[in-house]
Amino acid sequence: METSKTPFISLPVLDTLLMSSFFISGLSALMYQVSWQRSLFGIVGADIDSVTIVVSVFMLGIGVGGMVGGYLADLLPKKRIQIYAFIELSIAAFGFASLLLLQTLDTWLLKIGGDTFSSTLGSMLFLATPTLFMGMTLPLLTLAFNEWQDSIGVSVGQLYFINTLGAAIGAGLVPFMLLPIMPLDAVVRLAACGNVLVSALALTAFIWQNHNVKKDLRHV
């Protein structure tokens, strides 16, 4: 008897929902990065040291998040999409709070003098949480997506492409289209709304998945 990885492997709706969510996730992530970098450069300076610090911390957080996300995906295989949705909501919450946090960081650095060490520490503390969450999303969604794909290579390739495409568009969208017409805080809030939409799409995919599994089981 021919079997498949799941009873709903041919449903295109799941693919569309999750790939759309990961596109918006990448879009929002780079909107954050460009916006937060501009804000941090205004606080810690825009010399080569500051640029290196901010970009390095951003990439470090995403790398560590990928490792943590892979661990969670293996530990809780039945809850991957729910965890992914929760993480996106957490990124949104941080995004909405980030403007106040940046003001607090600016005040703190002014009080202590704002040397290189304190600027590095402040940037790390600010970026650690959101970049960790951003890095966790790829392994979680990849393994969830692979449940109804024939090859994990296809899953990783498709998701990485769509996420990178969203990131590339987000990186260009902020300086060339959004900032000329809206303030920086509005751009950050728009990115946070994108994370809320991502979470909604992921939960819709989860509900759709469970509905079709139950429907297929009733016909067995």
Tokens, residue 68: 């943590």
pLDDT, tens only, 36-76: 988 888 887 777 777 787 888 888 999 999 999 999 999 99
Domains of the chain: 12-214 (1.20.1250.20)
| Local confidence pLDDT in tens for the 220 residues of the chain | 344 444 444 457 777 888 899 999 999 999 999 999 888 888 877 777 777 878 888 889 999 999 999 999 999 988 999 999 999 999 999 999 999 999 999 898 888 877 778 888 888 889 999 999 999 998 998 888 777 665 666 667 888 899 999 999 999 999 999 999 999 999 999 999 999 999 999 999 888 777 665 555 455 5
Q: Residue 114: which region, alpha, beta or left (left: phi > 0; alpha: psi -120 to 50)?
A: left
C-alpha 203/C-alpha 127 separation (Å) is 26
- CB-hemisphere CA count at 13 Å for 16? 5
pLDDT for residue 57: 85
pLDDT for residue 101: 94
- Its pTM stands at 0.87
- CB-hemisphere CA count at 13 Å for 3? 2
pLDDT for residue 156: 75
Q: Note the maximum CA span of the chain.
A: 72
pLDDT for residue 218: 53
- Report the candidate in 87, 64, 59 with the shortest Cα–Cα distance to residue 144: 87
Residues ≥6 apart with Cβ < 8 Å to 63: 135
Place of tokens 């709903």: 8
